[in-house]
Each structure stands twice: as structure tokens, then as C-alpha cells.
Amino acid sequence: MTQAVDISTHVAQAGEELAAFIARHPKLWILTGAGVSTDSGIPDYRDADGQWKRSPPVQHGDFMASQAVRQRYWARALVGFKALREAQVSGAHRALAALEKMGYVEMLVTQNVDRLHQRAGSKKVIDLHGRADTVSCMVCGYHMMRHAMHSEMAQLNPRFAALDAGHAPDGDADLETDFSSFKVFDCPRCQGILKPEVVYYGDVVPPARRQAAQAGLEKSAAVLAVGTSLMVYSGYRFCRDAHAMGLPVASLSLGVTRADALLTHQWRAPLTPVLEQAVRCLEVR
């Protein structure tokens, strides 16, 4: 039976209950989503009901097939990527890194592409959907850092580089204008399409990465989903698999999840203070 704690429940109670869950299942397989990074200034995709807050992100097929889609994507990224570039680790990232240092984490699988878990000190991390700070050529495999590509595009597009707009998830920007004049920087080696090393919607997680995450799950005692609605199948599938394996599945988030019917424990509460309280409780055990 799901043990639900409403968002209004005192943070201390949720943290103490989470600490008790972790202590009972010390080999945790943790899955994190965009909610972990909102305190770092990176917007998330969905509201508390699991619905889109804005238009869905770009589809892999559209990005690859359409020059106009790539112009729009890179123009907006040129404006919005600074939210990712300048983001600092949050208390939630630090608390999860602390849990690993205390020996409670078997594996941390993140759906985020911001690399903030690694910057916070987590070592056992799988970037399920890749990373946003690097790009590669879809033809020849040429690899370069994202900031270097943005520097090239800023020189090609000084008017766009000077624009400002609200930040959107994963380095996007809430910018709408005529993008037809934007000059996309293509692969300097073969002129192929450069794409962030991120799994876009409509693409698939590389098999080796998925298999590594699955292997970690099979060594774990329980699953804890943090800051994710689990609406994306690539993350939800692991909760489904854990449930089939008979593992406890818990969630800490602000709203509903796709896996609500599978959960053994659920805390709808603010992430950072609850995680920090859980760490404090575990430190005195």
C-alpha cells in the first residue's frame, strides 16, 4: 500500500520517513529528474499533474530532417544555454552525493543532462539521456565541447547572440522570432550535422547505457525516484522492472508520477529540505 505524504506535511516528518526507508534498504538505485535541478535555476518540463508547462522539446527526427528546426533549436540555445552553463549544484545534489559517501547508493541514474550530480561529488552516476555540454557530428563522429560551438555561432550570428529571453529546460530559451537568417555551425571536418550528445524525444537510450543501469538495478535493494514525474518511458521502465522484481519503489517529488500505482512509499514534498533532513537523520543513526 502506498504511504502518501501530502506536500503540506512538515518537512521533518517526510525527511525522517525517507531516512527510515533508506536505512532499511541501504543499496539504493536512485533515479533523478528535472526537479532535482530546479533549485539550480534550470526550469523543469512538467507541472505537479505531470502535464507539459510549455511546448514539448524537439524531436530527434525533426532535428535531423529539417534545417529550419535546427536553426530554431540553435538560435534559442545560443540565448538559453547560459542557464545550464552557469547553474550551480543545489542542496538536493549535495544531499544525494552525501548519501553515496555514506554507503547508501548502489547507483544513481539521472535523466538530467546538466552533469550537476558529478559536480556535487556523486561518483556512481549514469547519464541516462546523455550530456548537454558536448556535441558530436552525426556523420563522421567529430566531437567538440558545446561552449566552443556556441562561440563559433555567436560570431556567425551577432544579432542573435545579443538577444535575451526567459530560460527553458535543458538550455533552451522562450524565444520566438524569425530564425530563417540564423547560420548553423556545422561539423568543421565534414560539414555534417552537429547534435548535442543528448537523447532527444523520439530517439532511444544507447543499449550499453541502458544495460549498465539495469545491471545496477539488479544489485540494488530498492528504488528511489527523486524529482521526476516518470512520464518518459526510458525512466519509468526501471520502476516497472523493479516492481516486477519485488523491490520497494519510492518517490520524492512535488506531484503525481506515472508509477504511482507501483509505489510502496511516496512523499509529495519539496526535495532539497526533505533530502537534507534525511541525511541529518542518517548521520546520527
Contacts 24+ apart (CB under 8 A), 65-73: 67/184, 68/179, 68/180, 70/184, 70/193, 71/179, 71/180, 71/182, 71/184, 72/179, 72/182
Of the residues 25, 93, 117, 129, only one is catalytic, namely: 129
Which three three-digit cell numbers place residue 112?
538530467
- Angstrom distance (rounded) from CA 150 to CA 135: 10
Check: CB of residue 139 under 8 Å from CB of residue 193.
yes
Catalytic site includes residue 129: yes
Sheet holding 249-253, edge to edge: 3-5, 265-268, 249-253, 222-226, 28-32, 105-110, 125-127
Would the annotation count 239 as a binding residue? no
Q: Which residue ranges are tagged as binding site?
A: 137, 140, 187, 190
Catalytic residues: 129
Q: Which residue ranges are tagged as binding site for Zn(2+)?
A: 137, 140, 187, 190
